[in-house]
Structure formats: C-alpha cells, structure tokens
Structure 1
Amino acid sequence: MRKTFWMVILVLAIAALSACNSGTEKAEKKVENTKVPQMLEAKLDVPETAAVNEKITMKASVTQGDEKVADANEVEFEVWEDGKKTESQMIQTKNNKDGTYEAETAFDHDGVFTVQVHVTARGLHTMPTKSVTVGKGAAVQEETHHDHEGHTDHEHGHGHGHGITEGFSMHFTEPKSITAGADTTLTVRLQMKETPLEKAQVRYEIWNADNSGKHEWVAAKEASPGEYSAAHPFSQAGTFQVKVHVENKEGLHEHEEYEVTVGK
C-alpha cells in the first residue's frame, strides 16, 4: 500500500515538472517570437558625377543583419532634379537574386539630381539617397535663374529635406496586424550616414483614406538610439495613411508616407 502511495506521488511530481518545463518553453518561445526584427539595410551605389545623356547604373545591396535579402517585395529607384521632387521619376529594378538590385538611367541636361532607392522587404522599409552632379551641375541652373528672375534666390531643395537629405534613411516597421480599437505600436528607425539619428522630433500623422479631412497627430518617443515608437488606437477598420515627420535642431525636415490596413 505504501509502495503504491509513493508511486502515485512520483507520477504526480513528474507530471508537474513536465507541465512547468512546457510552460517555460512556451514563454521562451513567445519572447523569441516578439523580438524586434533586425534592421533592413540598403547600400546605394551610384556615381557622384555623370555626363549629360550618359547612361549610369544604379545599384542597391540589401541586407538584414548578416543575411543578403534576395526576396524583397519591392525595390524601386526614384530620381528627381533638386527642387523638383514633385516631378520625380520611378524606375523599376532588376533583381539579381543575390541581394542586389539594379537599374539604369540617364540625364538630359546639366544639374544636380537625387537618386533614392525605396526598398520594402519582410515588413520593413528603407530609402537611402545619394546625389549625382550632371555635366556642369547647378551652376548653369543658377545662372539661368538669375537671368530670368533678376536675383539668385534659387531653390535647391536641401533646405527643406522631405526625403532628399543625403545620408538620411528611414526604416518604418509595418505592423503585422492591426485591429480597430486596440493600441498599435508604430515604430520607425532613423539613421544619418549609417549611424542612429538620436534626439529627433518624430510625429506620426494619421488619417483614414476615406476621410482625409480628419488627421490625428501622435508624438513618438525615442525608445532606444535612433528608434522612435508610439501607440495609437485606430478608430475603425479600413485603409489608413501614416505619414512620419522627422525634424531636429540641425534643420533636418523629412517625411515619408505609408499605407496600413486596419482589420475589425
């Protein structure tokens, strides 16, 4: 009888230990699954100078940690002349299947142009930029502007930023799922010349695509160097626009817009 009693106690103890280990494994797995993904990096390679009508190659090397990203959802080059961002041209790329993406372009007149690559992969987004001086550069433009306007108050575009500051990049982490009424954490990582951009003022401007007249503003806090987060409860299901505004004391002023889908 006593032997049976101790056998029952032993079985119960083993069962309790097994349940404890299972709970620990599940907890560890949950923590592992909630880890912040490594930052998406895109190294943009374009020549610093080019001749008028010269065909140049634009190349982006995309990585996440030590892994080459050959399965990006979208990689496009955007090209515009300084001060004419609204007239930019989007150029599709060729996927070399080794983490690099390429395209060609040419410029038909002198000037300073900006090349920006837009990379979307694994729920992350990054968009570094570089400048290309074509022919005689901006000098011809400045002289022409002076002749026609009678002054030299020309627009370069660098003073206002909005996606053209060389060396600046923005990595927006798109939430995997958003439910109406529940707090959703919005996170963006900022870099300047491949270094975390700290002490910036970051705000999220949010509106429903079907009601563009109502915009909400949410201030983000710097959770870690260069990483800014804010929680926002989306009021209803639908398609929302999220515009990230970035400013700092050095005169930086950038913004990029993203689209997110909110479920019921």
Structure 2
Amino acid sequence: MRKRLTLILFVMVLAVLSACNKDEDEKVDVSDKSEVPQILDVQLKVPESVDVNGKVEMKAIVTQGSEDVADADEVKFEVWENGKKEESSLIEAKNNKDGTYVAETTFDHDGEFTIQVHVTARGMHTMPQANVKVGTGASHEEEEHHHEHTEGFSMHFMNPSDAKVGNDTTLMVHLSNGEDPLEKANVRYEIWTDKNPDKHEWIDAEETNAGEYTGSYKFPDAGTFTVKVHVENDEGLHEHEEHQVEVGK
C-alpha cells in the first residue's frame, strides 16, 4: 500500500513539473511574438542650392536601428518644380549595398524645386523630401511660400503610403531640437486639395511619444492632398512645413 501511494505521488510531481515547463515555454513564445520591429529611418541628402545645368547628387541613407539597410525593395527619387507636382519625374536609385542609394539629376532653369525619395524596405515605406534652390531661385511670389526652419529645429513627417478614401489615416511627425526630441509642442495638421482649395480642415495632433505627434484623418477623395504641419510652443517657436500625400481609392 505504501509503495502504491509513493508511486502515485511521484506521478503527480512529474505532472506538475511538466505543466510548469509548458507554461514557461508559452511565456517565451508570447514574448517572441510581441517583439515590434524598429522603424525604418531615411536621411535624404541633397544640396540646398545648385547652379543651373549643374549635376546634383541625390543620396538616401537607409537604416533600421543601428543596422544599415542594404536590401531595400525599391528606392526612387521624385523631382518637381514647386507648384508643378503633376509634372514630376521619377529617377531610379543605384544601390551601393551599404545602406546608401544614389542618383543624379540636373535643372535647366532658375527656381525652387522639391526632391522626394520613395523608399520601400522590410514591409515599410517612407518618403522624406527636401527643397533645392536652383540658380537665382524662385520669384518673389513663390518665395512667400518657402519657410526656413529655426536653427537646431528639425521636422520629419512620416508620409503615409497607405492612404485610402474614407479610411482612418495616421498622420505622424517627429520633431527635434538639436539632438533632443521637441516635447510639449502644439502641433496641428492643415489639410486641403487643389480640387477644393478654399476648404481647409484642421486636425489637432497628440504627443504619443517624446517628440512624436500623431493625428487621424479620413480623406474624402482620391488624389493629391497638401498636409501642412504647424508647430508652436510656449518659447515662441512657430514652424510649418508642407507635404503632398497621395490618396488612393
């Protein structure tokens, strides 16, 4: 009788140990599945000003965390004269296999131009852009729409690649002052389209992380919308920047 009781207790202990090991394995699996991939970061390097007909090197530096992304699916540079987005041209980038992607272009007349790089890699898409002054630059009327940022301030708008009519689209911008994130700013998105230029809608953004401000908007139509990011704070900062968002059906 005593031997039988001992055997039963031994079997019960084995069952408990087996259940504990199973729980530990399940905890590890859940932890692995919940790991979130790091954001894709793209730095666009272009000159601030160039001569008419001079060669312009365009470079995109693509990283994910501390890793250079040398396996992007697609990298293209889009170039247009400000106010003439519909006449833009796309230039395929050369992959240097070290996380950098390059191409060249030229401008045949004076003016203000925009260069935007489209990067698709590792299931993510981002499209930073920069302005380039060519020759004597834009006319006085065009210059009124151009704004120089305060020294040390930088703005990185995460242009949404999946904007669809009627869907909630996340608008996100990262702000920094020098090497530090710019916190506790008042950020608003002003949105309009050339189809209805007199109707401007305003979306208040919320600071979801340090220096990261997000809002949500349902685009009413397909086509190109202008999203103007307005940034202010209690120290007197007042910055703004315009971006073009393509909305699909």
TM-score by length of 2: 0.67
Q: Is the 8 A contact 1:123 1:174 kept in 2?
A: no
Q: Secondary structure at the match of 1:158?
A: coil
Shift of 1:97: 2.3
Change beyond 3 A, Cα 1:155–1:47: closer
Shift of 1:62: 0.9
Q: Is the 8 A contact 1:39 1:171 kept in 2?
A: no
Shift of 1:224: 0.5
Q: Is the 8 A contact 1:117 1:128 kept in 2?
A: yes
Identity of aligned residues (%): 41
Q: Secondary structure at the match of 1:248?
A: strand
- 1:168 paired residue number: 155
Distance 1:217 1:95 in 2: 39
User: Between Structure 1 and Structure 2, how many residues are aligned?
Assistant: 222
Distance 2:154 2:229 in 1: 14
Shift of 1:13: 1.5
CA-to-partner distance for each residue in 1:84-121, whole Å, 9 max, x for gaps? 44543332212222211111111112233332222232
Shift of 1:228: 3.6
Distance 2:223 2:130 in 1: 30
Query: Which amino acid in structure 2 is aligned with residue 224 of structure 1?
Result: N
Change beyond 3 A, Cα 1:228–1:20: same
Distance 2:217 2:15 in 1: 47
- 1:190 paired residue number: 174
Q: Which runs of 5+ in 2 are unaligned?
A: 192-200, 233-237
1:248 to 231, 235, 243: 231
Q: Is the 8 A contact 2:175 2:212 kept in 1?
A: no
- 1:113 paired residue number: 113
Distance 1:204 1:260 in 2: 19
- 1:147 paired residue number: none
Q: Secondary structure at the match of 1:252?
A: strand
Q: Is the 8 A contact 2:57 2:105 kept in 1?
A: yes
TM-score by length of 1: 0.64
Q: Which runs of 5+ in 1 are unaligned?
A: 143-151, 176-180, 206-215, 234-238
